[in-house]
Amino acid sequence: MTEPSTAPEQVGVPRLSIRGLDVTFATDGGDVHAVDGVSFEVAPGRILALVGESGSGKSVTARSILGLLPETATASGAVLVSGTDVVGLSGSRLRALRGEDVSMVFQEPSSALNPVFPIWWQMGEGLRAHEPRISRKQIRARTIEALESVGIPDAAERIDRFPHEFSGGQKQRIMIAMALALGAELIVADEPTTALDVTVQAEILELLRDVRDRFGTSIIVITHNMGVVADLADEVAVMYRGRVIERAEVHELFAHPREEYTRALLGAVPHLGRDSAWTALSEPERDALGTAEPVVEARDLVIEYPGRLGRAPFRAVTGVDLTIRAGEVYGLVGESGSGKTTIGRAIAGLERVTGGSLRVLGHEMNGVRERAFRPARKSIGFVFQDPATSFNPHLTIQECIAEPLVVHEKGLPTTERRDRVRALLDAVELPGSYAGRYPHELSGGQRQRVSLARALVLDPALLIADEPTSALDVSVQATVLALFRQLQSRLGFAALFISHDLAVVDSLAHRIGVLFRGELVESGHGPDVLQNPQHAYTRKLIASLPVPDPVEQAERRRAFRESWGRRAS
C-alpha cells in the first residue's frame, strides 16, 4: 500500500470539516430532506463512528464527502476534505481528490464491483487513474499486496477471478483493499464489516487500527454494530432524522449517553447468552421440537463446483449432517466462504447437490428435477444476503413484495394482494407510502426489511434467512428479530438462519451448527455450543465477537491477540 504524505502545513488541520450540510432529494412524492444542518470534524489519525437507524442520513452524509450524490440531490453548506470544499466541485477535480485524499468502502460490494471484469483489473482502474504510467506487472503486484493485507487467501491466483467467484465477506474485503491501495488520508467506510464473520471482522478492525496508527489515516466508519463502535472508534456521532443529536468520546457515550434515542440504541444491542431462544422454551416445547417431523434432512451432504479450464472441482460442502424439524430455528454460523450460503441455496433448490442426501419437504434434492420440485417452492421463503441485487430495479416495492403472489397465487384479487403487501410493510415498520417507491430510493436497511416482507408473503413452511439483519441498525434489528420470533411462533414455520452475529443467532436459534471450510465441526442447542464450545474454531468465533462496551472490548481484544496470535494485516 502507498503511504500517504502529510504536508507540514496541514499537520493539525482537520482532514474533514463539515459545516451546516443540508441535502435534499427530489422524488416523485415530493422533496425529501435527508440531511439537516450536519456539522462535525475529523482530525488526523482519528476514527469517528457515525451511528443511527436506517434512513437517518449516515450514508448520504458519507457520499457527500466524495461528491457521490445523484443528480436528484441538492446540497448546501461546506464539506472540506483536507481544506478543499467538495460541494460544487467540478468532476475533474473530484476525480483527482478521490482515491488519494479520500476513499470509500461501500455498503453493498456486489453492487459496487463490476461483474464483467476480473479483480486485478478493477483494482488497477484506480491505480491507472492516478498513476497513468503504471505497468500491468506493477498493477498485479500491488493488487496481490492489497488483497493479502485484507486476508484474501491465494491472492496471487485469485486476482484473475470475477466478483461472483467470491463470497459476500470476501467481496467486502476486496472493497476495503481498493480503498487502501492508494493510501488515502481519509477513508469513509460505510458498513465495512456488515458481511463479515466475527473472526474476519476482528482482522479487518485490527487492519483499520493499524492503518490509522502507521499512516495517521483518518477514518469515518458508518455502522449499526455497537460492538464495532466500542472496538474501533475514538469518537461517536449519533444521527437521527438527518441531524447529529449527540457526539462524544466513545467511552463517555457508552457510559453516559445523554439522549433518549442513544440510550435506546444501546439498549437494543443483543448480548450473547442473555436471551437464548432454547433457554426460553418450556420443557413441553422442547420435547415437541425434538419429536417434530423433519423438514430438512442432510446426510453426508457434498456440494462441488466444477473446475474451469482444467482446474480441479472446488468442494464447498463436505459430509454435512443436519436436521431441521418443523417449528425449529436452526442457526448456521461460520466464516465467509465456509459454505453457509451454499447449503441454504441447495435447500432452496438453487444449487445442485453433488453427493450424499438432502431431503427438503419430502423431496430428495440429489438429482431432483425442477418440474418435480416446483410445487414445493411456494412453501419456501428466502431472505437474500444482499437486498440491492435481489430486487428488480424496474419494479416498485409493492410489485417486489407481491411478485411471489403473482407467480404462485394467480387468482388472488389485486385488492387483496395490495392489502397483504401493506400489512407486511406495516409489520416490518415501513410506511405504506413506500409501496410506490423503487428499491434504489430506500436505504440498505430499508431494503432488507422489504426482503423479509417478500419472503413471508406466502406464509412459508420453511424460511431460509441468509444474513437477514446484516444491513440493519440495532434498533431496527431488534424490531425485526422480535417480528421474526413473533411470526415464527405464530405461524410455526421451520427456519435456517444464517448469520455471522453469534448474539443474534443465540437469540433466535434453538439449535446451532458451526461450519468451518465446508465441514460441520460442532452442532447442538444454543447454550451448549456458545457457552461450552468443544471445537477450537467455535472458541475462536466467540472470543473474536466484539461487545458493546469499550472497556470490556479492549480487554477482550488483548486476550484475543494473546490466545490466537492475531496481528495487523
Check: CB of residue 268 under 8 Å from CB of residue 477. yes
pLDDT band at 565 (very low <50, low <70, confident <90, very high): low
* In the predicted structure, residue 39 carries a pLDDT above the cut 90: yes
d(CA 468, CA 448): 7
Are 321 and 298 spatial neighbours (Cβ–Cβ below 8 Å)?
A: yes
As a residue count, the chain comes to 569
pLDDT class for 471, splitting at 50, 70, 90? Answer: low
Q: What is the pTM of this model?
A: 0.73
Residue 20 pLDDT grade (very low, low, confident, very high; cuts 50, 70, 90): very high
Q: Max CA-CA distance within the chain?
A: 72
Res 95: pLDDT: 79
Q: In what order do the strands lie in the sheet with 186-190?
A: 102-105, 186-190, 218-222, 47-51, 235-240, 243-249
| Domain-wise residue ranges, the chain | 277-547
Structure confidence at residue 6 (pLDDT): 40
Using 50, 70 and 90 to split pLDDT, how confident is the model at 566?
Answer: very low
CA distance 477 to 481: 6
Amino acid identity for residue 321 in this structure = D
In CATH, the architecture of 277-547 is 3-Layer(aba) Sandwich (3.40)
Q: Give yes or no for residue 360 having a pLDDT over 90.
A: yes
What cell numbers appear for 323 in the block?
436436521
Which of 155-169, 213-227, 398-412, 469-483 is the most confident on average? 398-412
Q: Which residue has the higher pLDDT, 480 or 256?
A: 256
Give exposure, 231-268, as e/b (b: 16+ Cβ within 10 Å): bbbbbbbbbbebbbbbbbebeebbeebeeebbeebbeb
352 in helix, strand or coil?
coil
Average model confidence (pLDDT) for the chain?
Answer: 86
Spatial separation of the C-alpha atoms in residues 358 and 351, rounded to whole Å: 12
